[in-house]
Amino acid sequence: MSFRNRVRFEHQLAALVGLLCLALVGATVGGAVWLERRSAVRLAEARLARLAAGMADSLDTTLRERFREIQVVAALEPLRERWGSDATTIRGVLSAMRTTAPDYAWLGFVAPDGRVRVGTEGLLEDLTVSGRAWFETGLARPNVGDVHEAVLLNRLILRSEPEPLRLVDVAAPVRDGAGRVIGVLGGHLSWDWAARVRRRLLDEGAAGTDLWVLDRRGRVILGPHLGTAPFGPARIGAMAEQGSGTFAAAIDGERRLAGFASAAKGERAEIAGGDPGLGWIVVATRAEAQAVAPVQRSVRALLALGAAAALVGVALAWWLGRRIAAPLRRMTAAADRIGRDADATTLPRLDGAREFVALSAALRSLLRRIGTVERELSDATVRSTRVAAFYRRQIEDLRQVAGTDVLTGLLNRRGFTGPAEDAFAQARGGRSGVAVLVVDIDHFKRVNDQHGHDAGDAVIRHVGALLAEAVRGTDTVARFGGEEFVVLLVGLGASEAAQIADRLCVAVRTAQIAHGGTGIPVTVSIGVAAVAPCDPDIQAAIARADAALYEAKARGRDRVSVAAASEAVERAA
Q: Is the pLDDT of residue 351 over 70?
A: no
Distance CA 96, CA 255 (A): 49
pLDDT at 1 over 70: no
Residue 45 has pLDDT above 80, yes or no: yes
**What's the rounded mean pLDDT across residues 295-309?**
71
Question: How far apart (Å, rounded) are the C-alpha atoms in residues 101 and 95?
Answer: 10
pLDDT of residue 568: 47
Nearest to 487 by CA among 521, 512, 464: 464
Q: If you average pLDDT over residues 95-124, what whole number do you get?
A: 91
pLDDT digits (tens, 9 = 90+) for 137-191: 999 999 998 888 887 787 777 766 667 888 899 999 999 888 899 999 999 998 8
C-beta neighbour count of 467 within 10 angstroms: 25
Cβ neighbours of residue 215 under 8 Å, at least 6 residues apart? 146, 147, 221, 278, 279, 280
Prediction pTM value: 0.51
Can you give the pLDDT at residue 264?
60
pLDDT tens per residue across span 231-269? 989 999 999 889 899 999 888 888 999 999 987 654 444
Kindly report, as residue ranges, where domains of CATH 3.30.70.270 are found in the chain.
Answer: 413-572
Q: What is the pLDDT of residue 137?
A: 92
324 vs 436: which has the higher pLDDT: 436
3-state helix, strand, coil in the chain (%, to 5): 55, 20, 25
How do 484-490 and 434-441 pair as beta strands?
A: antiparallel
User: What pLDDT is stored for residue 367 in this prediction?
Assistant: 43
- Distances in Å between the alpha carbon of 463 and those of 164, 317, 515? 63, 81, 14
Question: Which long-range contacts link 248-255 to residues 24+ away (Cβ below 8 Å)?
Answer: 248/41, 248/45, 248/288, 251/285, 254/287, 254/289, 255/287, 255/288, 255/289
Chain centroid, CA 354 distance in Å: 67
Closest CA to 119 of 192, 186, 193, 189: 186
C-alpha–C-alpha distance, residues 533 and 380, integer Å: 53
Of the candidates 337, 310, 431, 251, the residue with the CA atom closest to the CA atom of residue 19: 310
Strands 560-562 and 524-530: parallel
pLDDT for res 276: 43
Q: How many CA atoms lie within 13 A of 35 on its CB side?
A: 7
The SS3 call for residue 168 is: strand
Average pLDDT, the chain: 81
Question: Class of the 413-572 domain?
Answer: alpha beta
- Looking at the chain, which residues constitute the CATH 3.30.450.20 domain(s)? 1-317
Quickly list H helices, 430-565.
Answer: 444-451, 453-470, 494-510, 538-554
| Res 268: pLDDT | 40
Three-state secondary structure call for residue 522: coil
Q: Is the pLDDT of residue 118 over 60?
A: yes
CA 466: distance to chain centroid? 34
Tell me how far apart the alpha carbons of residues 484 and 392 are, in angstroms, rounded to a whole number: 33
State residue 205's pLDDT score: 77
CATH 3.30.450.20, domain 1-317, yes or no = yes
Of the chain, the end-to-end C-alpha distance in Å amounts to: 104
Does 13 score more than 70 pLDDT? Answer: no
Instruction: Give the whole-number percent of the chain exceeding pLDDT 70.
Output: 78
| Mean pLDDT of all residues in 400-421 | 83
* Residues written for the chain: 573
Residue 551 has pLDDT above 90, yes or no: yes
- Residue 294 is predicted with a pLDDT of 74
Q: Quick check: helix, strand or coil at residue 180?
A: coil
128 contacts: CB under 8 Å, gap ≥ 6: 113, 114, 115, 116
pLDDT band at 278 (very low <50, low <70, confident <90, very high): confident
